[in-house]
Chains A and B, each alone.
Chain A
Amino acid sequence: MSKGGTVDAKVVFLILTFSISVLGMLAFVVALIQKQVLVPASAAKSIFGKNEVGHSELDAKSRMSDQWKTLDQSAKIPILLFMVSSVLWLVLGSIFGLLVSFKFHAPEFLGSEALLTFGKLRPLHLNIIAYGWLSPAALGVAMWLVPRMTKVPLQNVKTLFAAGVIWNIGVILGCVGLLFGLNDGLEWLEFWWPFKILLALAGAMVAIPLFRTIYLSKEEHLYVSMWYIIAALIWFPVLFIIANSHFLHSGVEQAIANWWFAHNVLGLWVTPLGLGIVYYLLPKIIGHPIASYQLSLFGFWGLALFYSQVGMHHLLGGPIPTWLGNLSVVMSVGMAIPVITTAINHHVSAYRHFHVLNESVVLRFIVFGAMSYTVSSLQGSLHSLRTFNYTTHFTHWTVSHAHLGLYGFTTMVLFGGIYYALPRLVGRNFKHPRLLNLHFWVAATGIIIYAVGLGYGGWLQGKELQNVNGSFEQSVRLTMPYLVVRSFGGTLMLLSHCLMLYNVFSILRPEKEAVIK
């Protein structure tokens, strides 16, 4: 092997990247001091209209103010398309998820039908939730917020509508393809590649109205949520296209590209959209700006730098170069910086005005989501460390962690976002506001049971897989009770989604007495 020259060059690469990251952060600190001058103190308040600061919004009364009405309804039809289709996908995806969960402890359940076998439903569940629910729901809420922050009605409404249609066609074709053997065989990227072109195209099409609207904006400053939305819409097409360029990769290189994507699609796509929504709705509903606007700069740039480099902790112990794992471990730990700064911003703001939680169900969803983000991110930093990773790798712990992040955080935030947006979009209140509250409690109970139960079972499983005097049989037997607990949590989650489906369709049905002038 040619040690010496080439190898040394790679050590240099490693040191170089680490230095670039450190320098980047230092340069940023300097920039921050200058930003003090550039960011007006009012920036954090730019989301508030006249006389709104200091007043919490009670969504039970759902005051639909005239000053937002034109902006809120500027792209009514495409936003509704994104939101309603995503809720339908959510229900379908969680039915598949629950079936999969049952099959873990009742393997004969629906087992004799080729199309309903575990291995077909499992990728359907993941892809429907990732591309049918999370992506369009997050896009819908984010794009609905864009006019509120730019103070310009959304541009290119037809393009956005077309993007929604193309996206949904892509997901439908992708799912049907999976059932009949059109499967690319990579986790998180199962859809057959021609169908994925539709998703990449639709993703890029959403960027058009976004940038056109920003272009027309006369606002001095872009609110923090906009940073996340802009970056996410740049990152997604890049990630998706690189990871799907199958001609580039095979073998171990493909595994590296696969997990680079699979973590980035969470960190650079779903997470920034979710955080953007929290950064808007949390202060907005409370009626006070976030605790420290400067901290949010650290949160954003830290995420951009660190989150894009953490993916290799999925392959620790595998046939990848050690330095690659080392780098991802360090960057995963580095994620604590943006997470803690973001956490301070969110939790201090919420804590100061905790009483608003009594009045606003939307805020409950948002605060629950923000708390889950903190917990699941710190959990992620912790179990990327090799000591923990050796135990948790290959176990249900990972599944529990993924659900805490994607359900506890993103999905809960999106529930809140959709519930906040819908009355303002259609100009009517929810007929049964109490069902929103019920939805929250059923979903929150479900995900807590799911995450705690399965996480603990996964930990036991991991310990057994490390026990040289143990056996694989024991690792299966140990997890059985926790798999049943998971199904119980999952059932609650599905029930809450059915409630949501009802809520969404009841507000869409026009009824005279519910109309608010």
Chain B
Amino acid sequence: MNKAYIFVLGGTSTITLSIFLFILVPRLQVSEINKDAVSAQSPYTENELKGRKTYIDNGCLYCHSQQVRDPVAGADKAFGWGRASLPSDYIYDKPHLLGTMRTGPDLSNIGSRQPSRDWHHLHFYNPRLLVSWSIMPGFPFFYEVATSSESPKPGAIRIPGKTDQWIIPSEEAENLVSYLMSLKRDRDPVKASEATK
């Protein structure tokens, strides 16, 4: 059929070459690297995975990366975001959430560098309560607001600037914060041969 086959063949062969180079070879190499490294990461708990789903569903990845660059490429280290990331930091990540935007700060190590749950809850409720210049959306729908002079419930957090207003985190908010708390990619992996001692 009048030379269409040239383009069918050509198109198929270039895409095959591309699949080979960009899917198969890296896959083999990365899995070999990860085999030799016992990740310092641990599998996510059930609640952390639920929180991870909330992270995905609410589009956190469109503004927050989870990959740290070497000082040669950016000020990541100077900003306190941690060491440059390694493949073994992500072995439990499915889907991956590496991200490509830094409208917000990198979250690779948020669990280590900002471990206050109270802070995260208030920040999710309204980021500008704590960070005046923040452009992050608030998530007030994850919280119930209660009026009381004393803590209405264990886990309730007083809203700054109000003496009698408290936020009560929903289960969704607790899981999301648990997920963030689990992000600690600051420990180094160890060699498989040494880990088995």
A→B interface (CB under 8 Å): 1-2, 6, 10, 13, 17, 20, 103-105, 107-108, 111-114, 117-120, 122-123, 181, 183-187, 211, 214-215, 217-222, 226-227, 230-231, 234-235, 238-239, 242, 246, 248-260, 264, 268, 301, 304-305, 308-309, 311-312, 314-321, 324, 327, 386, 390, 393-396, 398-399, 465-473, 475-477, 480
* Chain B residue with Cβ nearest A386: B73
Whether A393 and B100, one on each chain, are in contact in the complex, defined by CB atoms closer than 8 angstroms, is yes
Per DSSP, are chain A's interface residues mostly helix, strand or loop, or mixed? helix
CA distance A393 to B61 in the complex (A): 15
Q: Contacts of A301 on B, CB cut-off 8 Å? A: 10
* Chain B residue with Cβ nearest A184: B95
Give 1 or 0 for each of B129-157: 1 = CB within 8 Å of chain A CB: 00001111111110000000000000000
CA distance A119 to B23 in the complex (A): 29
CA distance A305 to B16 in the complex (A): 11
Instruction: Confirm or deny: B57 has a beta carbon within 8 angstroms of a beta carbon on chain A.
Output: yes
Give 13 A-B pairs besides A250-B93, A317-B73, A469-B78 with Cβ atoms closer than 8 angstroms: A13-B21, A184-B95, A185-B97, A230-B4, A230-B8, A309-B18, A319-B87, A319-B98, A320-B26, A324-B26, A393-B100, A466-B75, A476-B103
Q: Which of B28-36, B109-117, B161-169 faces chain A?
A: B28-36
CA distance A311 to B97 in the complex (A): 17
Whether B105 and A321, one on each chain, are in contact in the complex, defined by CB atoms closer than 8 angstroms, is no
Known A118-B137, A304-B10, A467-B75; contact A312-B22, beta-carbon cutoff 8 A: yes
Q: Contacts of B60 on A, CB cut-off 8 Å? A: 119
Pairs A–B under 8 Å by Cβ, sample size 9: A111-B140, A117-B141, A250-B93, A255-B90, A259-B100, A321-B30, A393-B74, A468-B71, A471-B79
Q: What is the count of residue pairs linking A and B with beta-carbon distances less than 8 angstroms? A: 241
Q: Contacts of B137 on A, CB cut-off 8 Å? A: 103, 107, 111, 117-119
Give 1 or 0 for each of B153-193: 1 = CB within 8 Å of chain A CB: 00000000000000000000000000000000000000000
Whether A308 and B17, one on each chain, are in contact in the complex, defined by CB atoms closer than 8 angstroms, is yes
Whether B135 and A468, one on each chain, are in contact in the complex, defined by CB atoms closer than 8 angstroms, is no
Q: Contacts of B94 on A, CB cut-off 8 Å? A: 246, 249-251, 254
* Chain A residue with Cβ nearest B191: A1
Please provide the 5 A-B residue pairs with the shortest distance between their CB atoms, ordered closest to farther.
Answer: A119-B59, A308-B18, A251-B90, A231-B11, A394-B102
Q: Contacts of B47 on A, CB cut-off 8 Å? A: none
- Nearest-neighbour CB distance to chain A for B142, whole angstroms, equals 8
Q: Contacts of A314 on B, CB cut-off 8 Å? A: 100
Known A6-B32, A217-B2, A231-B11; contact A318-B69, beta-carbon cutoff 8 A: yes
Known A315-B98, A319-B86, A321-B30; contact A17-B21, beta-carbon cutoff 8 A: yes
- Nearest-neighbour CB distance to chain A for B59, whole angstroms, equals 2
CA distance A117 to B30 in the complex (A): 36
Known A222-B2, A468-B75; contact A123-B23, beta-carbon cutoff 8 A: no
Q: Contacts of A472 on B, CB cut-off 8 Å? A: 79, 105
Whether B136 and A107, one on each chain, are in contact in the complex, defined by CB atoms closer than 8 angstroms, is yes
Known A120-B58, A257-B23; contact A308-B15, beta-carbon cutoff 8 A: yes
Instruction: Confirm or deny: B82 has a beta carbon within 8 angstroms of a beta carbon on chain A.
Output: no
Give 1 or 0 for each of B64-102: 1 = CB within 8 Å of chain A CB: 010101111111001100001111011111111110111
CA distance A465 to B84 in the complex (A): 15
* Chain A residue with Cβ nearest B127: A107
- Nearest-neighbour CB distance to chain A for B87, whole angstroms, equals 4
